[in-house]
Amino acid sequence: MGKDMISLVSDQRMQNVIPVLQDMAVWNRIFLVLSKDRRTQQPHPRFKQSAQDLKAVLETDKRTVIISDEYIDPYSIGSTDKVVTALIQQLGADNTVMVNISGGTKPMAIGALRAAQSAGVPSLYTNTEDNEILWLAPDGSIRSEEIKVLGLDVALYIRAYGAEIASALRVDDLPKDRRFWAEFIGDNHRMLYKRIIVQVDRAITEVHRAKTGFPVRCRVSPTRNQLPLIQRLTDAGLWTWDKNTEEIIVSDPMITQFLHGGWIEAYVASQMQNSGLFDEVLLNVTLKGMDGEIDLAAVRNGKLVLIECKSNVQRSEQLNKLDAFRRRLGGPFAKAFYARAGDEYADSIRAQCKKIQLDGVFFGEELQSIGRQIGGAI
């Protein structure tokens, strides 16, 4: 594998990041080549920013990133061929040079490939849709290798797109009792959610509206099968159960927030991590200089997963916020999903999600397999 990589730069960053961080890859120098505006003969500011962001995340003590001052006409195969050929000659046309043709326009990719093959050096293409890197030999043969990146966590992914995490919570940092409560409720969704959790949540809402203070008391009239589940959560410290009045009693304001929807984020995050399919899972992610919060962010195979988690509400103004985060943090390399505790108004919500082209939506008991389903699909 070569030690010097010539890479084409575009708005997207992962096709430049993934080959550098691929397992067993060793690169001493990365040369970033930008396209230019035909009118000004200079790169567009957003491409300059892309190159700067890439340099910030890829440069290390052992790896240098160089932004070339030779620019390419994005719609000219010949222009790309000329610039890349000159770089190959400068570096030495041997096995130490590799050309990454993934970025840029199609004419740029064709021109870069032609330059590599003419000079007798290998090239590569990052195919994230099929989770593979294609290694293209000078003789035209192609070898496929599964994407297996090292060190690509959520923070690095976000930094590659010019943003920075201000705060976040790791799944393992969740209090053990809250993680247990969330998993118990989610795993027993059919028995607990509609008849118990929703009723307690409504009682919490009424107390907040009336400003009557704590404790919150909610009569639930449980079935014989629900009683052991309520008692298990009582023993675990979530609430108090008064068997004489058949009331669940919640005294801690922090627990009311958990029951009002916080359990869904904790449950989805646990399911994602328990699947073993993601390199990292974070909750409650905020970004410096950006409003709003990402309920859950994860990375797998060079792709960022964003999930908005909500309780039993009919409308979600958060969907547009989720879409905005997806567009800002990677476009086609970022996948956005919506997770909802209840299945009421499912058709209407699916229509909203389809309209803004979210990558998937999960309702109720579907949350129990959310990690496996998302992890297996990307």
| pLDDT band at residue 93 under the 50/70/90 scheme | low
Tell me the pLDDT tens digit for each residue of 269-292.
999 999 999 999 999 999 999 988
The confidence score (pLDDT) of residue 378 equals 83
Query: Does position 1 have pLDDT exceeding 60, yes or no?
Result: no
Cβ contact 319:353 at 8 Å: yes
Q: Which amino acid is at 89?
A: Q
Handedness of CA 111, 114, 118, 124 (dihedral sign): positive
Strands of 142-146's sheet, edge to edge? 64-67, 29-33, 4-8, 97-100, 123-127, 132-136, 142-146
User: What pLDDT, on the 0 to 100 scale, is given for residue 319?
Assistant: 85
Q: Over the stretch 166-193, which tens digit does the pLDDT of each residue have?
A: 999 999 999 999 999 999 999 999 999 9
Query: Is the pLDDT score of 237 beyond 70?
Result: yes
Give the per-residue pLDDT at 178.
96
Question: What is d(CA 22, CA 204) in angstroms, rounded to the nearest whole number?
Answer: 49
Asked if 135 and 124 touch (Cβ cutoff 8 Å), the reply is: yes
Domain boundaries, the chain: 4-150, 167-172+263-377, 177-258
d(CA 16, CA 51): 10
pLDDT > 70? residue 6? yes
> Residue 331 contacts by C-beta under 8 Å, 6 or more apart in sequence?
11, 12
Give pLDDT tens digits for 325-378.
999 998 778 999 999 999 888 898 899 899 999 999 999 999 999 999 999 988
**pLDDT band at 209; cut points 50, 70, 90:** confident
Could you tell me the pLDDT band of residue 315, with boundaries at 50, 70 and 90?
low
Residue 301 has pLDDT above 60, yes or no: yes
Confidence of residue 202 (pLDDT cuts 50, 70, 90): very high
User: Which carries the bigger pLDDT value, residue 202 or residue 93?
Assistant: 202
What's the mean pLDDT in 303-331? 82
pLDDT (0 to 100) of residue 165: 97
CATH number of 4-150: 3.40.50.10770
Whole-angstrom distance, CA of residue 159 vs CA of residue 53? 7
Cα 333 to Cα 301: distance, rounded to the nearest angstrom: 10
The CATH label, of 3.40.50.880, 3.40.1350.10, 3.20.20.100, 3.30.800.10, for the domain at 167-172+263-377 is 3.40.1350.10
The mean pLDDT of 240-264, rounded to a whole number, is: 93
**pLDDT for 2:** 55
CB 93 within 8 A of CB 84: no
